[in-house]
Amino acid sequence: MRRKFVLALSLMLLSLLTVQAQVVTLKVTNQPIREVLPMVEQQCDYHFFYNNNLTGLDNLVTLTLNQTPLEQALKQLFKGTGISYKMAENNVIVLSVEEKKSAVRHITGVVLDKKSNEPIIGASVAVKGTTSGTITDLDGNFTLEASTGQYLQVSYLGYETYELRVAAGSDIYRVMLAESTAQLDEVVVVGYGAQKKVNLTGAVSVVESKDIVGRPTPNMVTALQGADPALNITMSAGGPGASYNFNIRGLASINNSSTTKPLVLVDGVEMELSRVNTNDIESVSILKDASASAIYGSKAAAGVILVTTKSGKEGLAPQVTIDAKAGWKSPTTDHDFITQGFWSAYISDIFMLQHTKTAMTTYTEADYAELWMRLNDQTENPERPWVVTQNDGTYKYYANFNWYDHYYKTIRPMQDYNVSLKGGNDRINYFVSGRYYTEDGMIRIDNDKWHQFSTRAKVNINVKPWLHYGVNFSFFSSRYTYPGTESSREIFRVGSLHAMAYIPATNPDGSFVYLNPWIYSGQGTVGDGMSALLLNGKHKNLNLNREMVIQNSLTFDLYKNLTLNADYSFTWRMKEISNRSVKVPYSAKEGTTDLIENFRSVDSYHQQLARYQTHNYNVYLRWTPTWDKHHLTLTAGYNGEMYRYHSTQATRMDLMTEDLSSFNFAKGEVTELSESIKTVATNGFFARVNYDWAGRYLFEVSVRADASSRFAPGYRWAVTPGGSLGWRMSEEPFWESIHDWWDNAKIRFSAGQLANQMTGYYDYIQSVDADGMFTQAITLDGATVLSYATENDPNAGTLTWEKMTTYDVGLDLGFLGNRLSLTGDFYIRNTEGMLNTGTALPSVYGATDPKQNSANMSTRGWELAVTWRDKHNVLGKDFKYEIGGGVGNYRTFITKYNNPEKLLSTYYEGQELGELWGYEIDGLFQTQEEVVDYLTKVDPVNSMVYTDIVGVLDSKAPGLHPGDVRYVDLNGDGVITSGNNTADNPGDRRIIGNTLPKYNYNFHISAEWYGVDLSIHFQGVGRRDWYPMTEATTFWGPYSRPYQGFMAKDFMTNVWSEDNPDAYFPRYRAYEALGSANSLGPANTRYMLNVGYLRMKNITVGYTLPCWKNVFSEFRIYFSAENPWCWSQLQKYCRSIDPEQAVVSSQAITYGFARTFTFGLTATF
């Protein structure tokens, strides 16, 4: 026993001694632990065992140890790191890092209603990302287990879900839940504030984000088409970066320059609609009448569009949303053109033969036989080559070439990626987004490409309970690279001329085709050189746009209900354009290469750099006192803005290389070197009073005084007042009985006056031009030509603002729990003082008569919108759906204008804007007898419509023939003329139509059930008249120019012949539509087209996957198409013109309009 004790003791002592004998002596300064370990190992008889990648091993440590026992030494060594050690057998010390297992602890709290402070019973409190949770008790209290860093999600029906983070050291929480905004309590953004929708007295229309966000469009311009019947948006082309025109309720002034466009504000800063990321949009408010816009003063003369972007908010855990889509674009119009050379040559020949005595081509019977032989060769058959070299080397062409496919890509890809992050707590909230969009353009050769990038970051901070700070930064960049000439429209405009199917684009040796000698003039310029130019591939263009906006705002809560807001925004934009062109080679003869001699085939480089800067300041007070049932909101403040534009452009000829473009190696003449600087400053003071009593009687009045540097001192200020009244009948006691099914009825009336500054930047200052040249040159010394300086003609010193006064009467109704809602407006807008040439001054004045504010016009219109939304429970899941639509129309008349004779060449009193004067055609002559009979009543020689038919001396068959159009002699004077070209004497013309859109309408359907969502948007114009003018070659084909290459395959079936008497087009004859005095030149009833249309703007079908709920809060896949379908009466007569293209100009030639098809997915986590 005693021996065992001694053994144990001695063993213990031994082990103690062994351990105690381990001491460490070392001194290290800033050495990694990793290196200290071997030192310890050396001194002690231990080995460290650890993972090389252990965290903390590389931590630097400074230690001084003097005979320190090992345990203590190790403690000191690993102090501050997460490394823990464990003594194991065999003298091994194991090192490891402790898993920071945050302690799960008791969290308690209370959930209250934010407004009433009452506890919410039965609210659900869940730990986000787990399955644990609980419910609040009768006092609103809850308790559960959670650890630091986890999020609690508090929710209750009718309230906004609130998420809060469990903070270290904080175990008790108080959650305030805010009620979800019901449909009626919806808040609408208006000028310098927000109003409850039910209290709106002005004509304001709201576009919800769901109608815009996620659509496969690069920007919101096309997405807004159809948002409201009052909004008219016309695209000038269908290509990327196309410009657009838009107005609200029609043109506000006949002087429709850039100053008469509606004001677009994004979060209060002026921006272009085309540079806003659609996915950032929270809501869009369209201020249609003067009372709503008056607070914005002179810039708002044509209406205001307020765009509000998404923000973070309190009680939102950080949420990331990724949206990615990819797809393709294809043209909206048909391009089934004749590609058989035989027919292409034949048609141009027969048309030309009716016009002159020669055919278009010089092809003989033998040539036609060659063409006939190749008729069905869709691709070149080596036995029958498309280009036959003649004995002298000249190429002769017998091709079946598809020029449309040669120029244009019909299927082109696009991609769109968007990422956003938002979240917030009670101190700070944020929203950050980024987007990248790219699409390939339509031009096949040297494909044009569009890249677009945008980003936004918004942070709002509650610095103190009474001080809030916000910063809003956005950046947009677009880059468009394209081949060809400076204007990408040129390819569409001239590319098809002389591009006949029998001519290919390249010769057998690869050289480019430009000159076609096989036509009567010997000088057919194929595509006007565009094909050769594109194939040559050295014409390069770049269009770059970058814009950055930084906005800082401060809100001071001065006193209960009184806040002072101040914000400053800086917009900086840069635009860079560069265009390079070279001399283009071509060949018409084997072995000979020439250079094209036209204005597009020159060696030059052009560059333009423009910078825009805007500083904008707002300072205003807002006071919202309430007492009893009175609610008052007073807003008053100041707005100042400074704008500066500076652009430099230069062009130089003859560069030393075709592959690079820089002025540094241009050795030719500097043909352009100029600068343009524009500055504007505006000052404005505004104030508004909103009053309502018990939400029943509503009143608003606002006023703004604006000064602008564009006017001379003394004429600078304009005052724009506006006011409106409303009565919510549904809140009256007498309404109680019907309130359950008729929830809302409001009638409102508004009136306001806006002012428009319709001048240039410095019109009251006369500028001096120092480079005047005499038409009959003079020299004073025989060495230099005399130049002179002269000032431009003065404008009237009394030039002042144009005034627009709008009166609006509106009705807002809601039925059946607001499931059915209806809004109607009727308005009158009078514009006065539009600039107009004044009365003519005597010659002694010595300068052109100055313009005066002397023209007036008046617009009358109405809008109606109806929406039905409902929800049913189908098979256990909610089925939500919504159907809505709107329609509107307006007419504008000139009420005063200085044109006493009512000349139709300019405006006149009584004119309806858009009216189209034209002749009447009552059909085609079918027989010679009809022609003879007509000739007894009408003299075509002295008429202004048959000039070519009767006049061309060497025509094969001059004079009228069966198949020609028959003009009606409306005034019975025996000739078809335009009279005196006045409204009282228009000759044989009358008003045949109107070129402005009539009856804008839209409707949409959306539905959601079982995770599947569907939405379809339609937009349309009821009627819009359009006459295809002389250069509308896509419509007229060979009637305009017999060498028009794009002819519909079935074109000839619409051409009159004795076997085809009911045809649409008359007897075939070239150039009939090219001259304004030829039979198809002037506007007439027969060929005037209704380009009103119905267009499916968007269809989206999506499915939200029910799985992965613990990872993604939402995962949705979808298909979305933009512009997939369109119907128009125009398509009956011409399927190659898009109805929106027709109204861009009378030629209807633009970069093609496209439809987009995409597949995408959205994930939120």
Partner 1 sequence: MTLCFTSCNMDLAPEDQLSTVTYFKSGTALKEYSNYFYRMMPDPETMYAEEGEHFVRDIHSGEAYWSKDVWKTLRKINYLLANADQCSDADARTHYVGVAHFFRAYFYFNMLQRFGAVPWYDHVINADDKESLNRPRDSRDLVVRNIIADLDMAVDELPAMRSAYEVNKWTALALKSRVCLFEGTFRKYHAGTTFNGGSSVYSEVLPWDDLLQQCADASLTLMQEGGYSLYTTTEEIIWARAYSKDLDIKHNAQAWSVARATGFTKRFADLYLMTDGTPFTSQAGYETVQYLDIFANRDPRMAQTIHAPGYIQMGADKTYAVKSWSQPIILGVAAYAPCRFSG
Chain residues in the site for partner 1 (CB under 8 A): 566, 617, 619, 638, 640-642, 675-683, 707-709, 713, 716, 761-762, 765-770, 772, 774, 776-791, 794, 796-798, 841-850
Yes or no: say if 321 and 1164 are a contact pair by the CB < 8 Å rule: yes
State the nearest-atom distance from the C-beta of 797 to partner 1, in Å: 8
For partner 1, the closer CB: 567 or 731: 567
Distance in Å, CB of 673 to partner 1, minimum? 13
Residue 244, strand partner residues: 235
Contact 166, 660 (CB under 8 A): no
- Say if residue 38 is exposed, middle or buried (CB neighbours under 10 Å; 0-12, 13-18, 19+): exposed
The Cα 855–Cα 252 span in angstroms is 13
Q: How far is the CB of 709 from partner 1 (least distance, A)?
A: 4
Q: Which is nearer to partner 1, 774 or 1127 (CB)?
A: 774
116 in Cβ contact with 145 (< 8 Å)? no
Give the separation between CA 540 and CA 483, rounded to whole angstroms. Answer: 5
- 54 vs 471, which CB is nearer to partner 1? 471
Q: Which is nearer to partner 1, 26 or 642 (CB)?
A: 642
Report, in Å, the least distance between residue 471 CB and partner 1: 17
We find the least distance from the C-beta atom of residue 545 to partner 1, in angstroms, to be: 22
Listed in sequence order, the DSSP H helices in 1018-1108 are: 1033-1036
> What pairs with residue 434 in β-bridges?
419, 455
The residue assigned the tokens 């320190």 is: 68
Min dist. Cβ of residue 625 to partner 1 (A): 24
Spatial distance between the Cα atoms of 269 and 286, rounded to a whole number of angstroms: 15
SS3 for 22-58, per residue?
Answer: CEEEEEEEEEEHHHHHHHHHHHCCCEEECCCCCCCCC
Judge contact between 564 and 597, C-beta under 8 A.
no
Residues 6+ apart with CB under 8 A from 376: none
- Spatial distance between the Cα atoms of 700 and 689, rounded to a whole number of angstroms: 6
- Cβ proximity to partner 1: between 637 and 1082 the closer is 637
Nearer to partner 1, 714 or 1106 (CB): 714
CA 204 – CA 268 distance, rounded (Å): 17
Q: Which is nearer to partner 1, 374 or 716 (CB)?
A: 716
Collapsed DSSP state (helix, strand, coil) of residue 458: strand
Write down the least CB distance from residue 641 to partner 1, Å.
7
Residue placing its CB nearer to partner 1 in the complex, 363 or 764: 764
Radius of gyration of the chain (CA): 39
The residue (of 475 and 761) whose beta carbon lies closer to partner 1 is 761
Are 269 and 616 in contact by the 8 Å Cβ rule? The answer is yes
Residues 218, 223, 225, CA angle at the centre, nearest 5°? Answer: 140
CA of 821: how far to CAs of 283, 454, 698, in Å?
19, 36, 20
Give me the least distance between CB of 642 and partner 1, in Å please: 6
State the Cα–Cα distance between residues 1007 and 875, nearest whole angstrom: 15
Query: Would you say 66 or 843 has its CB closer to partner 1?
Result: 843
Question: What are the backbone dihedrals phi and psi of residue 232, each rounded to the nearest 5 degrees, phi first?
Answer: -110, 115
Q: Which is nearer to partner 1, 228 or 706 (CB)?
A: 706
Question: Nearest distance from residue 985's CB to partner 1, in Å?
Answer: 27
Give the H or E element holding residue 368: helix 365-373
Which residue's CB is nearer to partner 1, number 708 or number 1136?
708
Distance of alpha carbon 272 from alpha carbon 259, whole angstroms: 13
Distance CA(191)–CA(193), nearest Å, equals 5
Q: Closest separation between CB of residue 843 and partner 1, Å?
A: 5
Question: What is the C-alpha to C-alpha distance for residues 1031 and 1145, in angstroms, rounded to an integer?
Answer: 10
Pairing type for strands 304-309 and 263-266 reads parallel
CB of residue 841 to partner 1, shortest distance in Å: 6
The tokens describing 1112, both together, are: 């993604």
Q: Tell me how far, at minimum, the Cβ of 459 lies from partner 1, in Å.
A: 22
Q: Which is nearer to partner 1, 390 or 792 (CB)?
A: 792
Min dist. Cβ of residue 256 to partner 1 (A): 24
| 518, 396 contact by CB (below 8 A) | yes
The three-class DSSP label of residue 1150 is: coil
What one-letter code names the amino acid at 586? Y
Task: Write the DSSP symbol of residue 251.
Answer: -
CB of 602 to partner 1, least distance (A): 23
- C-alpha–C-alpha distance, residues 1116 and 1109, integer Å: 12
Smallest distance, partner 1 to C-beta of residue 716, A: 6
- Residue 807: closest CA among 825, 790, 786, 781: 825
**Of residues 245, 247, 269, 248, the one with CA closest to residue 205:** 248
Is the Cβ of residue 332 or residue 757 nearer to partner 1 in the bound state?
Answer: 757
Cβ 554 to partner 1, closest distance in Å? 10
Given a contact cutoff of 8 angstroms between Cβ atoms, the answer to whether 388 and 394 are in contact is no
Minimum Å gap between C-beta 272 and partner 1 is 23
Which residues lie below 8 Å from residue 1143, measured CB to CB, with a gap of 6+? 234, 995, 997, 1024, 1026, 1091
Distance CA 832, CA 857 (A): 7
Q: Which is nearer to partner 1, 617 or 934 (CB)?
A: 617
Closer CB to partner 1, 796 or 820, in the complex: 796
Residues 236, 277 contacting (CB under 8 angstroms): no
Q: Rounded distance, CA 795 to CA 792, Å?
A: 9
Residue 881 forms beta bridges with which residues?
Answer: 870, 1007
Nearest distance from C-beta of residue 681 to partner 1, angstroms:
5
